[in-house]
Structure 1
């Protein structure tokens, strides 16, 4: 049975965010701003339904979805694109595949103790963020 990711997580660290954003064709000014942000994550996981909120001082981004069901995701707040998104479990990792203009786009979340890890990919770039569970 996969883990329940419900909780509130504070930002700890990130690696390679600028190159990841460059792969998404984000302009240099917005890339620099995003690299300064220290987002929090709030996850509500109820059965096969999940809500993942990424909370920043600039804006929040909310994903509200059912596991295993493809939906159109509006990534307007991120990079102005829409894609067909499916989120499902692969073992203990929550895996998101985002089909659209960018190759190899998606992410995966997993827990290591009280830390939530996020690995985001776009084209050939990988960004890793780590969050600490606080409640």
Structure 2
């Protein structure tokens, strides 16, 4: 296991939503994941620059962000970045899960965020990302 903390990008135009996501997931989502550090982004351009640089282990995007929501942004990232990292979408309505599926999100969390469910979801996505590729 790496000693470097994993990097999680959190995007929302509202600082209080970014804070709520960070608080819910926590600095250590699961014992086997280790510590995580957060990079906050309040604009789409910040997200694009950070994701293009390839230094992110996971992104959590606010599906309700303005003027560009995380759902559309997720689809753009998944289609434009080769080997795009995992993305979790935070939505307000359970009925919006289908939109997150359309966006190619790796997982969805629902507002208000349940800290146990949010941390577990993030940990599951990070674990899946770290699985070795089987060569045959």
* Same fold by TM-score greater than 0.5: no
Larger helix fraction of residues: 2
Larger strand fraction of residues: 1
TM-score calculated relative to the size of structure 2: 0.32
TM-score calculated relative to the size of structure 1: 0.32
